[in-house]
C-alpha cells in the first residue's frame, strides 16, 4: 500500500511511505514510467512517514519517530529509468 505520495518537482517520480519487507515504515521513490521502487530509508525500528520533495528535487524531507518525533532530510536518490 502506497501512503502519502508526493510528486517530484520535475513530474517524473513520486516519493511515498509504505511497510518494507525488511521491517518498519520506510520511504521509497518510484519513477512514474515504471520500474522498481528505490528504498530511501532503512531503519526498521523507526517509522519514516510523509515524504515531501525539496523545491529543486534534490532532497526529501520526512517525519520520523524513534523515541521522539522529528523532521529529517535525506538527499534524493538517483532513480534509474525503467528498462
* Amino acid 2: pLDDT: 87
Single out the residue of 15, 22, 19 nearest to residue 62, CA to CA. 15
- Cα–Cα distance between 29 and 8 in angstroms, integer? 9
Domain-embedded: residue 80: no
Q: What DSSP line would sit under 4-61, residue for residue?
A: EEEE-TTSSEEEEEEE-TTSSEEEEEEETT----EE----TTSEEEEEEE-TTSSEEE
* Amino acid 22: pLDDT: 85
The range of the structural domain enclosing residue 24 comes to 3-75
Domain-embedded: residue 82: no
State the pTM of this model: 0.85
The structural domain count of the chain equals 1
Domain-embedded: residue 83: no
* Amino acid 23: pLDDT: 87
Domain-embedded: residue 22: yes
Domain-embedded: residue 30: yes
Mean pLDDT by 10 residues, the chain (83 residues): 92 94 92 91 91 93 86 71 46
Amino acid at each position: 500500500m502506497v501512503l502519502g505520495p508526493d510528486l517530484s518537482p520535475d513530474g517524473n517520480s513520486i516519493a511515498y511511505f509504505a511497510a518494507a519487507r525488511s521491517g518498519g515504515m520506510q520511504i521509497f521513490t518510484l519513477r512514474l514510467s515504471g520500474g522498481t521502487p528505490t528504498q530511501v530509508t532503512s531503519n526498521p525500528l523507526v517509522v519514516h512517514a510523509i515524504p515531501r520533495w525539496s523545491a529543486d528535487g534534490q532532497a526529501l524531507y520526512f517525519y520520523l519517530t524513534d523515541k521522539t518525533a522529528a523532521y529529517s532530510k535525506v538527499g534524493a536518490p538517483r532513480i534509474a529509468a525503467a528498462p
